[in-house]
Amino acid sequence: MRIEFENQTIDFNVLYGNRKKLSIHIDSTGHITIKAPNGTTDAAVMEAVERHGARILQKLQAIENARSAPKTKEYQDEGKFLHLGKYYYLHELIETKDLNEDELKASLKKFYFNSCKKLIAERIKTYQTQLKVKPKTIEIVESRTKWGSCSSDKHLTFNYRLAMAPLEVIDYVIIHELCHLTHMNHDRSFWRRVGSIMPDFKEKEEFLARYGQAMTL
């Protein structure tokens, strides 16, 4: 099926089943699946897709942006860098005048650190309330292997490169680490807790696995 939304075409498949609510799933390749209760009319499906059209297009654009990531970083005014899932010219993110490449790279890293710190501080409040947990400390770090971590003493760390990801992906990492405050292992209880807040968390994991390499300096 397909609909036209804001002069763009949204193609999707519909999967009917024994479920109570209609849900929209977008995988890491941009494939859209509508999971609907048995007996749901085509009109109801189309209305739901149209109602969430803006969010769907935003996510599809983020996937396309990550897929077309430039392989070589160009530290000049017209070089492009990710921020919140979208590409921006370097001069749109930081001041570039009279700075050499090393200075530009240092300034951009500082921008990402500050942006990530602000985003985490703002967005963690809601989720820690929902999960009824509170970390002792939160730190923004540089890591090549982890997007976030939780220690046994309730110390959370988040990779500064998360500032390059779409907001919903940042939210997933926040929820993931907050859930570790009560479930240190990745057991069924842990994933059930994650899913209770973000049912489509697997899509966010797939996004990081597929496009995380583009989120770098």
Check if the beta carbon of residue 160 is closer than 8 Å to that of residue 138.
no
Are 62 and 146 in the same domain? Answer: no
What range does the domain containing 176 cover?
71-217
CATH number of domain containing 168: 3.30.2010.10
Q: Which has the higher per-residue pLDDT, 196 or 68?
A: 196
pLDDT tens digits for range 114-169: 999 999 999 999 999 999 999 999 999 998 888 999 998 999 999 999 999 999 99
Q: Which residue has the tokens 């763009």?
A: 8
Residues 90 and 176 in one domain: yes
For residue 111, give the amino acid letter.
Answer: F
Residues 63 and 7 in one domain: yes
Total-model pTM: 0.69
Specify the length of the chain in residues: 217
Query: Do 80 and 56 share a structural domain?
Result: no
Strand pairing report for 137-141 and 86-89: unpaired
- 31: confidence class by pLDDT, cuts 50, 70, 90: confident
Q: Do residue 55 and residue 82 come from a single domain?
A: no
In this structure, the answer to whether residues 38 and 112 fall within a common structural domain is no
- For residue 28, count other CB atoms closer than 10 A to its CB: 18
Q: What is the amino acid identity at position 3?
A: I
